Protein backbone atom coordinates (compact mmCIF):
# COMPACT_ATOMS: atom_id res chain seq x y z
CA UNK A 1 0.00 0.00 0.00
CA UNK A 2 1.27 3.48 -0.87
CA UNK A 3 2.60 5.47 2.05
CA UNK A 4 0.84 8.38 3.77
CA UNK A 5 -2.59 7.63 2.24
CA UNK A 6 -5.40 6.01 4.25
CA UNK A 7 -6.29 3.34 1.71
CA UNK A 8 -6.58 2.68 -2.01
CA UNK A 9 -7.51 5.46 -4.42
CA UNK A 10 -11.04 5.55 -5.80
CA UNK A 11 -11.13 4.85 -9.54
CA UNK A 12 -13.65 4.82 -12.37
CA UNK A 13 -13.20 2.78 -15.54
CA UNK A 14 -14.67 2.92 -19.05
CA UNK A 15 -14.02 1.11 -22.32
CA UNK A 16 -12.69 -2.34 -23.04
CA UNK A 17 -9.26 -1.85 -24.59
CA UNK A 18 -7.14 -3.29 -26.09
CA UNK A 19 -4.78 -0.71 -24.54
CA UNK A 20 -5.13 1.01 -21.16
CA UNK A 21 -4.88 4.70 -20.27
CA UNK A 22 -4.62 6.03 -16.71
CA UNK A 23 -5.85 9.60 -16.17
CA UNK A 24 -4.71 11.67 -13.16
CA UNK A 25 -6.52 14.96 -12.56
CA UNK A 26 -5.09 18.36 -11.55
CA UNK A 27 -5.73 20.24 -8.33
CA UNK A 28 -8.28 21.06 -7.04
CA UNK A 29 -10.66 18.89 -9.11
CA UNK A 30 -11.41 15.15 -9.13
CA UNK A 31 -11.70 12.35 -11.70
CA UNK A 32 -14.71 14.04 -13.35
CA UNK A 33 -12.27 16.62 -14.71
CA UNK A 34 -11.72 14.07 -17.49
CA UNK A 35 -15.39 13.90 -18.56
CA UNK A 36 -14.65 14.69 -22.23
CA UNK A 37 -11.61 12.44 -22.50
CA UNK A 38 -13.28 9.55 -20.67
CA UNK A 39 -16.06 9.66 -23.26
CA UNK A 40 -13.76 10.03 -26.27
CA UNK A 41 -10.86 7.73 -25.43
CA UNK A 42 -12.98 4.92 -24.01
CA UNK A 43 -14.05 4.13 -27.58
CA UNK A 44 -10.50 2.95 -28.39
CA UNK A 45 -8.90 2.26 -24.98
CA UNK A 46 -9.73 1.01 -21.52
CA UNK A 47 -9.62 4.18 -19.41
CA UNK A 48 -8.97 4.37 -15.66
CA UNK A 49 -9.51 7.73 -13.94
CA UNK A 50 -8.48 8.07 -10.29
CA UNK A 51 -9.32 10.51 -7.50
CA UNK A 52 -6.21 11.81 -5.76
CA UNK A 53 -6.14 11.52 -1.94
CA UNK A 54 -8.86 13.58 -0.27
CA UNK A 55 -10.81 14.13 -3.49
CA UNK A 56 -13.98 12.44 -4.68
CA UNK A 57 -14.17 8.92 -3.30
CA UNK A 58 -10.53 8.58 -2.25
CA UNK A 59 -9.31 8.44 1.36
CA UNK A 60 -7.33 11.37 2.80
CA UNK A 61 -3.59 11.87 2.77
CA UNK A 62 -1.43 12.08 5.89
CA UNK A 63 1.50 14.24 6.94
CA UNK A 64 4.65 13.26 5.06
CA UNK A 65 2.95 12.59 1.71
CA UNK A 66 5.38 12.62 -1.26
CA UNK A 67 5.00 12.58 -5.02
CA UNK A 68 6.41 9.05 -4.93
CA UNK A 69 3.47 8.09 -2.66
CA UNK A 70 1.05 9.49 -5.25
CA UNK A 71 2.84 7.57 -7.99
CA UNK A 72 2.73 4.32 -6.00
CA UNK A 73 -0.98 4.78 -5.26
CA UNK A 74 -1.72 5.31 -8.94
CA UNK A 75 0.28 2.23 -9.90
CA UNK A 76 -1.79 0.27 -7.38
CA UNK A 77 -4.97 1.51 -9.06
CA UNK A 78 -3.69 0.37 -12.46
CA UNK A 79 -2.61 -2.99 -11.07
CA UNK A 80 -6.00 -3.61 -9.48
CA UNK A 81 -7.61 -3.26 -12.91
CA UNK A 82 -5.01 -4.40 -15.41
CA UNK A 83 -2.19 -6.24 -13.65
CA UNK A 84 1.39 -5.50 -14.72
CA UNK A 85 0.94 -4.78 -18.43
CA UNK A 86 2.17 -1.53 -20.01
CA UNK A 87 -0.22 1.41 -20.11
CA UNK A 88 -0.53 4.99 -21.32
CA UNK A 89 -0.26 7.61 -18.54
CA UNK A 90 -2.06 10.96 -18.82
CA UNK A 91 -1.99 13.82 -16.32
CA UNK A 92 -2.49 17.55 -15.93
CA UNK A 93 -0.59 19.74 -13.42
CA UNK A 94 -0.08 17.66 -10.25
CA UNK A 95 -1.44 14.77 -12.31
CA UNK A 96 1.34 15.39 -14.82
CA UNK A 97 3.95 15.49 -12.05
CA UNK A 98 2.58 12.20 -10.78
CA UNK A 99 2.55 10.32 -14.09
CA UNK A 100 6.04 11.54 -14.98
CA UNK A 101 7.24 10.16 -11.64
CA UNK A 102 5.41 6.91 -12.38
CA UNK A 103 7.15 6.68 -15.75
CA UNK A 104 10.57 7.44 -14.26
CA UNK A 105 10.18 4.77 -11.60
CA UNK A 106 8.74 1.92 -13.69
CA UNK A 107 9.65 2.60 -17.33
CA UNK A 108 9.00 -1.00 -18.36
CA UNK A 109 5.29 -0.55 -17.56
CA UNK A 110 4.74 2.60 -19.62
CA UNK A 111 3.69 2.62 -23.28
CA UNK A 112 3.46 6.43 -23.55
CA UNK A 113 2.95 9.57 -21.46
CA UNK A 114 0.66 12.55 -22.15
CA UNK A 115 0.93 15.67 -19.97
CA UNK A 116 -0.37 19.24 -19.83
CA UNK A 117 -0.04 22.11 -17.37
CA UNK A 118 3.49 21.21 -16.41
CA UNK A 119 7.16 21.91 -17.05
CA UNK A 120 10.59 21.85 -15.50
CA UNK A 121 10.35 24.28 -12.56
CA UNK A 122 13.08 23.60 -9.97
CA UNK A 123 11.79 26.28 -7.56
CA UNK A 124 8.04 25.72 -7.14
CA UNK A 125 6.80 29.05 -5.83
CA UNK A 126 3.25 28.26 -6.97
CA UNK A 127 2.94 25.45 -4.42
CA UNK A 128 3.86 27.78 -1.54
CA UNK A 129 1.33 30.33 -2.82
CA UNK A 130 -1.44 27.71 -2.86
CA UNK A 131 -0.56 26.52 0.63
CA UNK A 132 -0.84 30.10 1.90
CA UNK A 133 -4.18 30.58 0.14
CA UNK A 134 -5.76 27.43 1.56
CA UNK A 135 -4.35 28.04 5.04
CA UNK A 136 -5.77 31.56 5.15
CA UNK A 137 -9.17 30.96 3.53
CA UNK A 138 -9.81 27.24 3.72
CA UNK A 139 -12.09 25.73 1.08
CA UNK A 140 -13.40 29.21 0.23
CA UNK A 141 -10.12 29.63 -1.69
CA UNK A 142 -10.99 26.76 -4.04
CA UNK A 143 -13.12 28.78 -6.46
CA UNK A 144 -10.47 31.50 -6.81
CA UNK A 145 -7.83 28.82 -7.38
CA UNK A 146 -9.95 27.16 -10.06
CA UNK A 147 -10.95 30.38 -11.81
CA UNK A 148 -7.38 31.54 -12.27
CA UNK A 149 -6.37 28.45 -14.24
CA UNK A 150 -8.42 29.20 -17.36
CA UNK A 151 -7.35 31.34 -20.30
CA UNK A 152 -8.65 34.91 -20.13
CA UNK A 153 -11.09 34.34 -23.00
CA UNK A 154 -12.48 31.19 -21.38
CA UNK A 155 -13.21 32.90 -18.06
CA UNK A 156 -16.11 34.76 -19.68
CA UNK A 157 -17.66 31.57 -21.05
CA UNK A 158 -20.85 30.40 -19.25
CA UNK A 159 -19.53 26.85 -19.51
CA UNK A 160 -16.53 27.83 -17.38
CA UNK A 161 -18.86 29.21 -14.71
CA UNK A 162 -20.73 25.91 -14.87
CA UNK A 163 -17.54 23.94 -14.24
CA UNK A 164 -16.59 26.23 -11.35
CA UNK A 165 -19.99 25.69 -9.77
CA UNK A 166 -19.77 21.93 -10.31
CA UNK A 167 -16.41 21.56 -8.61
CA UNK A 168 -17.00 23.98 -5.75
CA UNK A 169 -20.31 22.31 -4.91
CA UNK A 170 -18.16 19.32 -3.91
CA UNK A 171 -16.26 21.24 -1.23
CA UNK A 172 -17.85 19.11 1.50
CA UNK A 173 -16.57 15.96 -0.23
CA UNK A 174 -13.01 17.30 -0.37
CA UNK A 175 -10.45 17.12 2.43
CA UNK A 176 -8.65 20.40 3.05
CA UNK A 177 -5.81 18.68 4.87
CA UNK A 178 -5.12 16.50 1.84
CA UNK A 179 -4.95 19.56 -0.42
CA UNK A 180 -2.27 21.00 1.85
CA UNK A 181 -0.38 17.69 2.02
CA UNK A 182 -0.34 17.41 -1.79
CA UNK A 183 0.92 20.96 -2.25
CA UNK A 184 3.61 20.38 0.39
CA UNK A 185 4.70 17.32 -1.60
CA UNK A 186 4.96 19.56 -4.67
CA UNK A 187 7.29 22.01 -2.92
CA UNK A 188 10.12 19.47 -3.21
CA UNK A 189 12.09 20.35 -6.39
CA UNK A 190 12.20 17.91 -9.28
CA UNK A 191 15.63 16.93 -10.51
CA UNK A 192 16.64 16.93 -14.16
CA UNK A 193 17.76 13.32 -13.73
CA UNK A 194 14.21 12.24 -12.82
CA UNK A 195 12.94 13.45 -16.17
CA UNK A 196 15.82 11.85 -18.08
CA UNK A 197 14.64 8.48 -16.73
CA UNK A 198 11.30 8.86 -18.54
CA UNK A 199 12.14 6.77 -21.59
CA UNK A 200 8.59 6.32 -22.91
CA UNK A 201 7.44 8.52 -25.80
CA UNK A 202 5.93 11.64 -24.23
CA UNK A 203 3.52 14.24 -25.56
CA UNK A 204 3.49 17.65 -23.86
CA UNK A 205 0.45 19.78 -24.73
CA UNK A 206 0.81 23.31 -23.38
CA UNK A 207 -1.55 26.27 -23.50
CA UNK A 208 0.27 29.50 -24.25
CA UNK A 209 -1.80 31.33 -21.59
CA UNK A 210 -0.81 28.84 -18.90
CA UNK A 211 1.60 30.06 -16.21
CA UNK A 212 3.53 26.80 -16.78
CA UNK A 213 3.84 27.37 -20.54
CA UNK A 214 7.46 28.56 -20.66
CA UNK A 215 8.58 25.72 -18.40
CA UNK A 216 7.22 23.16 -20.87
CA UNK A 217 10.08 23.83 -23.28
CA UNK A 218 12.98 22.88 -20.95
CA UNK A 219 10.96 19.84 -19.89
CA UNK A 220 10.75 18.73 -23.53
CA UNK A 221 14.52 19.10 -23.83
CA UNK A 222 15.12 16.91 -20.79
CA UNK A 223 12.82 14.06 -21.80
CA UNK A 224 14.57 11.53 -24.09
CA UNK A 225 11.60 11.11 -26.48
CA UNK A 226 9.26 14.12 -26.35
CA UNK A 227 6.90 15.94 -28.69
CA UNK A 228 5.64 19.39 -27.68
CA UNK A 229 2.41 20.89 -29.03
CA UNK A 230 1.18 24.42 -28.26
CA UNK A 231 -2.50 25.33 -28.01
CA UNK A 232 -2.83 29.06 -28.74
CA UNK A 233 -5.16 30.98 -26.45
CA UNK A 234 -5.51 28.08 -23.99
CA UNK A 235 -4.75 27.98 -20.29
CA UNK A 236 -3.84 25.42 -17.65
CA UNK A 237 -6.99 23.38 -18.26
CA UNK A 238 -6.54 23.28 -22.04
CA UNK A 239 -8.20 19.87 -22.41
CA UNK A 240 -11.40 21.26 -20.83
CA UNK A 241 -11.30 24.57 -22.70
CA UNK A 242 -10.92 22.99 -26.16
CA UNK A 243 -11.30 19.21 -25.80
CA UNK A 244 -11.67 18.67 -29.56
CA UNK A 245 -8.20 20.12 -30.17
CA UNK A 246 -6.51 18.43 -27.20
CA UNK A 247 -8.05 15.06 -28.03
CA UNK A 248 -6.96 15.30 -31.68
CA UNK A 249 -3.36 16.05 -30.67
CA UNK A 250 -3.33 13.09 -28.28
CA UNK A 251 -4.95 10.64 -30.68
CA UNK A 252 -2.58 11.69 -33.48
CA UNK A 253 0.38 11.16 -31.15
CA UNK A 254 -0.82 7.77 -29.92
CA UNK A 255 -1.63 6.72 -33.48
CA UNK A 256 1.88 7.65 -34.62
CA UNK A 257 3.18 5.22 -31.99
CA UNK A 258 0.80 2.43 -32.95
CA UNK A 259 -1.07 2.62 -29.64
CA UNK A 260 -4.56 3.35 -31.04
Contact indicator for 117, 236 with CB cutoff of 8 Å = yes
Domain spans in the chain, listed from the N-terminal domain onward: 11-256
Of 91, 74, 72, 89, nearest in space to 33 by CA = 91
Does domain 11-256 correspond to CATH entry 3.30.565.10?
no
Q: What is the pLDDT of residues 152-187, one digit of tens each?
A: 989 889 999 999 999 999 998 899 999 999 999 999
Distance of CA 223 to the CA centre of its chain: 18
C-alpha dist (Å) from residue 234 to 63, 124, 207: 35, 22, 4
Q: What is the pLDDT of residues 52-76, one digit of tens each?
A: 999 999 999 999 999 999 999 999 9
* pTM for this predicted structure: 0.96
pLDDT at 188 over 80: yes
Question: Cα separation of 96 and 198, whole Å?
Answer: 12
Report phi then psi at 47, rounded to 5: -110, 135
Q: What is the pLDDT of residues 109-161, one digit of tens each?
A: 999 999 999 999 888 899 999 999 999 999 999 999 999 999 998 988 999 99
Residue count of the chain, please give it.
Answer: 260
Radius of gyration of the chain (CA): 17
Q: Which residues on neighbouring strands pair with residue 53, listed in sequence order?
A: none
Amino acid sequence: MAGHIDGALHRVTAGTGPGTMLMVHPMPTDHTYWLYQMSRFSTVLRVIAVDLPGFGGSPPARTGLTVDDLADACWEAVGAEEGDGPCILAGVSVGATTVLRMAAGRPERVAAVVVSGTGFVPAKAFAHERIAGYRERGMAYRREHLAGLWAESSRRDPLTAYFLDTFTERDRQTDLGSILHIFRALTVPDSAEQFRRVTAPTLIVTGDEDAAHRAAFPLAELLPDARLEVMRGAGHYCNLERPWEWDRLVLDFLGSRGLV
